[in-house]
C-alpha cells in the first residue's frame, strides 16, 4: 500500500471540509453584514459576537427616546404612571420661604396611608432646568420638558397669560403620553395624597376618565352638574381618550383668556363624551376633596387639593395646615369618633384673592 497516497487522501477530505466551513462563515457574515469583510479577518468569531448582540437587542428593545425611558422607569406593570409637573417656583426654596410646594407634596406621600411606595411610580415633569436639577437631587423619576421660546420658571399666578400657556403645554405633553400607550394619574403638586387613590378609583377598564371636581353634585355620571378640576384625574390610554385630548388641545388657539380646564368643561357640556363614546366618572369630593369643597369625613378622604387659591405661598401655608390636621386626626385615633374633627380654615387661600 502506498502510504503517501492514503495519508494524502486522509488529509484532503478534512481540509476540504474546513475550507467549506470557512467559506460558509465568510458568506453568511457578508450576507448579514456586508461590511464585515473589512474587519480584522476573524469572520466567524465576529459573526458570533454580532449574533449575540442582535439577540440581546431583540430580548430588551431599547427605549425610543428619553421620554419613553422615563415613562418605562416609573411605570407600574400595567403601564400606569403618576405624573406631576413642576417648575422653579414649586421646587426651589426662596430665602423667605419656610419650605417648597414640592417638599410639601412629597411630605404627603410620607404621611399618607399606603402612599409611600407610590413615589416609585411618580414621574416629575420639570419645565425648567432648576426644577429638573432639584428633582434629580432628590433622586426621583424626572423628565425635562423643553418648550421653545417660553420660560416657565417663575411663579405663574392663576389665570395669568403664562399660567394659561403652561397649562396648555401640560395638556400637549399628556396627549403624547397617551399616544405612547400609558395610562396615568395626573396630579398637581398642590394635591395632598393622604391615602392610596387607587383604592377609591374604579378599576373598571371600561371607564376611560375619572376626574376630580370643584363641587360634586351627587351623581358621578352627570355631565352638566359636576364642575371638573383638572388638578387630579385618572385616564386610560385608548383611541377615545387620545381623541378627547386631541380635540381639547386643538382648541388652544381659539380659547383666548380661557384656561384648559374651562375649555374641557365646554367640550363636556357640548357633548364630546357621547360623541366619542367615552365613559367618564366625576369624582366625589368626599374622597377627592379640595379647598372649594372639603371632604366631610376624614376616614374617607383620599386627596386634598388647594384649589380655589391664587398664590403658591398661600397654598403652601394652608396645605401644611392640612397635613397638621391629618397628623392630629391619626394621632388621636379619631376613626371611631369623627364628630369633633374639623378641617382648619384655609385662611391663606381665602386672603390670596384680596391682593
pLDDT tens for the 355 residues of the chain, in order: 443 444 445 544 445 444 554 444 444 444 433 333 333 333 333 333 333 344 334 334 555 799 999 999 999 999 999 999 999 999 998 888 889 999 999 999 999 999 999 999 999 999 999 999 999 999 999 999 987 655 554 544 444 566 677 778 899 999 999 999 999 999 999 999 999 999 999 999 999 999 999 999 999 999 999 999 999 999 999 999 999 999 999 999 887 778 889 999 999 999 999 999 999 999 999 999 999 999 999 999 999 999 999 889 999 999 999 999 999 999 886 556 566 788 999 999 999 988 6
All residues at 6 or more sequence positions from 112 whose CB lies less than 8 Å from its CB, including other chains: 192, 193, 194, 195, 196
299-317 in b/e burial notation, b at 16+ Cβ within 10 A? eebbbbbbbbbbbbbbbbb
Cell numbers found for residue 33:
453584514
Look up cell 474546513; give the residue.
Answer: 18
The strands making up 303-305's β-sheet, listed across from edge to edge, are: 191-193, 303-305, 288-290
45: helix, strand or coil? helix
Give whole-number Cα distances, 35 to 31, 46, 53, 164, in Å: 9, 12, 16, 54
Name the DSSP class of 233.
Answer: E
Cell numbers found for residue 255:
380659547
What pLDDT sits at residue 36? 32
Give whole-number Cα distances, 27 to 11, 24, 155, 345, in Å: 24, 5, 65, 80
Report the C-alpha gap between 67 and 144 in whole angstroms.
9
Which pTM was predicted? 0.79
Amino acid at each position: 500500500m502506498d502510504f503517501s497516497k492514503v495519508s494524502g487522501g486522509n488529509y484532503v477530505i478534512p481540509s476540504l471540509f474546513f475550507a467549506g466551513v470557512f467559506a460558509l462563515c465568510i458568506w453568511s457574515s457578508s450576507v448579514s453584514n456586508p461590511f464585515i469583510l473589512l474587519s480584522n479577518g476573524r469572520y466567524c468569531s465576529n459573526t458570533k459576537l454580532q449574533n449575540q448582540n442582535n439577540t440581546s437587542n431583540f430580548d430588551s428593545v431599547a427605549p425610543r427616546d428619553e421620554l419613553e425611558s422615563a415613562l418605562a422607569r416609573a411605570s407600574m406593570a400595567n403601564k400606569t404612571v403618576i405624573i406631576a409637573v413642576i417648575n422653579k417656583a414649586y421646587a426651589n426654596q426662596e430665602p423667605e420661604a419656610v419650605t417648597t410646594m414640592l417638599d410639601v407634596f412629597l411630605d404627603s406621600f410620607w404621611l399618607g396611608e399606603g402612599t409611600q411606595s407610590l413615589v416609585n411610580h411618580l414621574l416629575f415633569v420639570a419645565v425648567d432646568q432648576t426644577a429638573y436639577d432639584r428633582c434629580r437631587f432628590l433622586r426621583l423619576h424626572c423628565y425635562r420638558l423643553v418648550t421653545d421660546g417660553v420660560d416657565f420658571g417663575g411663579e405663574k399666578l392663576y389665570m395669568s397669560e403664562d399660567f394659561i400657556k403652561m397649562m396648555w403645554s401640560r395638556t400637549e405633553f399628556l396627549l403624547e403620553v397617551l399616544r405612547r400607550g400609558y395610562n396615568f394619574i395626573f396630579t398637581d403638586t398642590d394635591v395632598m395624597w393622604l391615602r392610596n387613590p387607587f383604592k377609591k378609583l374604579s378599576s373598571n377598564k371600561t371607564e376611560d376618565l375619572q376626574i376630580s371636581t370643584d363641587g360634586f353634585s351627587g351623581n358621578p355620571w352627570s355631565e352638566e352638574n359636576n364642575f371638573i378640576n383638572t388638578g387630579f384625574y385618572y385616564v386610560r390610554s385608548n383611541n377615545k381618550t387620545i381623541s378627547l385630548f386631541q380635540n381639547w388641545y386643538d382648541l388652544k388657539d381659539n380659547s383666548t383668556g380661557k384656561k384648559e380646564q374651562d375649555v374641557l368643561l365646554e367640550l363636556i357640556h357640548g357633548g364630546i363624551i357621547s360623541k366619542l363614546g367615552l365613559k367618564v366618572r366625576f369624582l366625589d369630593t368626599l374622597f377627592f376633596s379640595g379647598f372649594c369643597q372639603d371632604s366631610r369625613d376624614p376616614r374617607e378622604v383620599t386627596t386634598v387639593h388647594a384649589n380655589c387659591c391664587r398664590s403658591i405661598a398661600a397654598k403652601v401655608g394652608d396645605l401644611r395646615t392640612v397635613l397638621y390636621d391629618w397628623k392630629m386626626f391619626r394621632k388621636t385615633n379619631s376613626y371611631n369618633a369623627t364628630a369633633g374633627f374639623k378641617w382648619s380654615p384655609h385662611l391663606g387661600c381665602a386672603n390670596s384673592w384680596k391682593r
